[in-house]
Amino acid sequence: MVGFSSHHIKNICVFGESSPEKEIEFLESTNHLGQVLSERKIHLVYGGGSLGLIGGFEGCVSIVVFLGGSQVLGVVPKALAKGDIIGKTIGEELQVSTMSDRMNIIFNHVDAFVTLPRGLGTLEEVFYISSWAQLHIHHKPIGLLNVNGFYDNLLSFLDHAVEQKFLTSLAR
């Protein structure tokens, strides 16, 4: 968590959509993130469920944080809570009506955001929060867990957007 001053961070959101596939490097990195959060007594707020790098199998963020003694809150849209789409939430679960409600609840419960390597849903979440920061709606830290250079091309694109003056270096 380079660049995050944890003394004022009590609750953190970790973005990373559910998916059962895991490369060992991603699993090790998310496990380490969970260990750092629990060691610093930082509570986790996430999208809920037990699948994927955030909530999944032994060693993933929500389990490590929960077993380390920190609180875990999963914010789940009711439509996803039905059936076995996302699996069982680790810790407390708060069901909401919509994805927008989910983002608003998460936003209001955390001091910072970390984004894991994942797909479109995760990118949507990080850009949602980043656009709010650009609009000065918040000044909460936003980080990318750039395992094995996963986000290198995205960061290059953002650098290009700055060069083209479509994005400020501060927003980058």
Q: Where do the domains of the chain lie, and which CATH numbers do they carry?
A: 7-163 (3.40.50.450)
Q: Which residues pair with 95 in a beta bridge?
A: 76
> What does the alpha-carbon distance between residue 5 and residue 7 come to, in Å, rounded to a whole number?
6
Averaged confidence pLDDT in the chain = 84
The tens digit of pLDDT for each residue in 73-112 reads 999 888 777 766 556 777 899 999 998 999 999 999 999 9
| pLDDT value at residue 154 | 95
> What does the alpha-carbon distance between residue 14 and residue 110 come to, in Å, rounded to a whole number?
10
> What does the alpha-carbon distance between residue 164 and residue 1 come to, in Å, rounded to a whole number?
29
- The mean per-residue pLDDT over the stretch 115-142 comes to 91
| pLDDT value at residue 83 | 60
| pLDDT value at residue 141 | 95
The residues near 139 (Cβ < 8 Å, ≥ 6 apart) are 133
The tens digit of pLDDT for each residue in 4-25 reads 555 589 999 999 866 555 677 7
The tens digit of pLDDT for each residue in 159-171 reads 999 999 998 888 8
Which residue, among 22, 34, 85, 92, has the nearest Cα to 63 in the 3D structure?
34
Residue carrying structure tokens 């973005």: 15
| pLDDT value at residue 1 | 42
Angstrom distances, CA of residue 7 to CA of 37, 42, 86, 112: 12, 10, 32, 12
> What does the alpha-carbon distance between residue 109 and residue 30 come to, in Å, rounded to a whole number?
21
Above 60 in pLDDT, residue 32? Answer: yes
Above 60 in pLDDT, residue 58? Answer: no
Above 50 in pLDDT, residue 59? Answer: no
Task: Show the CA angle centred on residue 38, arms to residues 90 and 143, nearest 5°.
Answer: 90
